[in-house]
Structure 1
């Protein structure tokens, strides 16, 4: 957490330099702080037009902060997961070594190398496709095409959602080369490093050898993607301000795109402010859940959500223990998931109440903005640039807590586990 704070501070100082803006004038502290935080926490919310306000130097600073934030978060989360695995004995494959080995320099080196390799591979492929498309389909010269391709590849894989256009990616709404490529990069970054290790090690289809974490992450991600696509496309199908202005193919493409983005990316090809209330609520749910653990995505994570769903299903069935895909889930993991979810709900509710009392905006857009910040998503109904100074600071804190909080909290809960020396008399309260 301290390291991320230092990076945010350094980024704020650089963005306050006159050379960082197009006008040559220094940005105010709140704008620089907000932009540095949204970049390091790979959120994507902005209070200024990225391309219009920041100079090339400023954009490169933002890009560096995004890369450091995304790569650092994946590394931090993976190392903490590796540490917890050795500490409490959870069988999650994070490296190619045997489960019984102790955490040592070799493990850390493999994790760091693996995270960097996964990141750079996906970013390079994405940048190549986007560069070719910008050059051949939109008449960009090779330098501009490469710059735009690399910028959006890095922000896409790291789920940052920052774009070099004032309307995000709206101008490419019906271009499958841009939309699908960005979506695939976002999904790749949102799965998490441990899952990619599983897929690499068992690339020959040995599904039974995948860890429970990989199975839950992949299956829940696929389910949420399908349900999100169906819900958003259905709710907005006849909305003339969103999907209604496209043909069938365009509606399906943009519906899929906007089902991917709430997972923590934050790009948009539609005006989010024109979404119907039901669509905003669907986005709220998807943003709060987020992506995979030890990934560039935010939210409470799909494994936390899935685990709580299995706990509820087990209780409904009246079974004494939680079994998932042929494995028994320990009670400690269940309690950690519950703690992360409830504390996250509490944080969102407190921030929402604060913004409701200090801004003139309604509940639906305020809640959307708060969850977008806490889930490090970056989608906005358009109210972020119009928030007061205190409200902007609250969103800044939410982005930082949302990115660092769930990882730190889950790890702290796991590492502080200890055995109770005695038990008190049991008494059952009334529930429900």
Structure 2
């Protein structure tokens, strides 16, 4: 009855995530969730719950030691709910319980899963859930086997470690059970490459993954979404690997501490994790300033639409590249392959980028005013929160409570999307019933 008061499905999505965050905060505030009851403030519990639901991975306390097994399972459940999407899960439950989905539920799931046709929602939700669970199971099996055989963990402990990090990696959540994330495994390709693969697959976006599985032999028939996502992902991963590897190759605090044979895989992981993965195999705090800047850009762009990654999305970035190319060539329309890009999609991409820049600027300014940390560290932290990445230069726990709440807002907005968030605030949509005269101002 409460959700029925909202008129736009985006409002349902935003409210659903908010309710889940508050529920997680309550559970993490319980004494049974904390190794030392009373050691976590309400703000810390709220921050952790938001970071989990928004699949970010920023932490103010050590995940592996501060929380009990119950607390870690709560975090894992929040990550799973946030990764699949609250409305996706709600629609699945409606299908299983009543075998029917109402119009409002379909619209809400359509917003969350970015489905292009409302009639596809039921089928897409089933495939999303099955694909997610199967992928997590495969990754968990590989990691469990490695922890069991390579590191001598007991079967129960190996399964726990494998399952936790499989869910965290596939959902691009960034949570790890070690205080140094995955830096202790920097030279282990079984763990590093498995985690990177899970992050990439989860961050591509479900529509793209399904289309690639169906039509991978016919790239000429791919949709604009798949073409742009795949092309932008390849370019960003390759470019990020080369630039970050070159910048950190001889840095003794990061790649320089690794054998030369492990440096390129380490650089690849440094390029993968800003997609929203958040796990790291090198000490981010020891990275050079120019590497932080490159990582800022990668984190702001993020991963694919309708996936578990955050940021403005590689699709948005790629579409704007085509818009720029068409404008430079003086073309009246923006074409991607043999298809024309609608004007509404172009405006949406521009709006998302501008809203993202506004949020990052406002967050950076606010934290600079609250703390004595330098601009490069604050900017890194803010972009990581907005992009729901989870990488940090190590200042998260040092922020005052008000600063942590700023990051909470950034993570929330970054998860549900700037445009969805703005739409959720609107009470109703307005359609102009007349056209005004055209006037072309001077631009530039």
> Structure 1 length normalisation: TM-score?
0.91
Contact preservation (8 Å) 1:73, 1:295: no
Tell me what 1:154 maps to.
Answer: 167
Aligned positions of 1:170-189 closer than 5 A: 170-189=183-202
CA distance in 2, matches of 1:142, 1:202: 39
Cα shift readout 1:285-312 (whole Å, capped 9, x = no counterpart)? 0000000000100000011111111111
CA distance in 1, matches of 2:436, 2:80: 50
5+ residue gaps, structure 2, are 1-13, 92-102
Q: 1:259 aligns with which of 260, 271, 279?
A: 271
Aligned positions of 1:338-353 closer than 5 A: 338-353=350-365
CA distance in 2, matches of 1:56, 1:84: 33
CA distance in 1, matches of 2:210, 2:115: 7
How far is the alpha carbon of 1:200 from its aligned partner? 2.6
Contact preservation (8 Å) 1:340, 1:410: no
Farther off after superposition, 207-216 or 70-79 = 70-79
Aligned positions of 1:190-209 closer than 5 A: 190-203=203-216, 205-209=217-221
Tell me what 1:66 maps to.
Answer: 79
1:21 aligns with 2:40: no
Farther off after superposition, 243-252 or 135-144 = 243-252
CA distance in 1, matches of 2:87, 2:292: 29
CA distance in 1, matches of 2:431, 2:408: 38
Contact preservation (8 Å) 2:182, 2:279: yes
1:312 aligns with 2:312: no
Contact preservation (8 Å) 2:185, 2:281: yes
CA distance in 2, matches of 1:339, 1:407: 7
5+ residue gaps, structure 1, are none
Sort the Cα spacing of 1:248 and 1:411 in 2 relative to 1 into closer, same or farther, 3 A: farther
- What SS does the aligned partner of 2:340 have? strand
Sort the Cα spacing of 1:240 and 1:292 in 2 relative to 1 into closer, same or farther, 3 A: same
Aligned positions of 1:33-48 closer than 5 A: 33-48=46-61
1:11 aligns with 2:37: no
CA distance in 2, matches of 1:409, 1:164: 31
How far is the alpha carbon of 1:325 from its aligned partner? 1.4
Count of matched residue positions in the alignment of Structure 1 and Structure 2? 419
Tell me what 1:110 maps to.
Answer: 123
> Structure 2 length normalisation: TM-score?
0.89
Superposed CA RMSD: 2.7
CA distance in 2, matches of 1:251, 1:277: 19
How far is the alpha carbon of 1:24 from its aligned partner? 3.3
Tell me what 2:253 maps to.
Answer: 241
How far is the alpha carbon of 1:27 from its aligned partner? 2.3
Tell me what 1:225 maps to.
Answer: 237
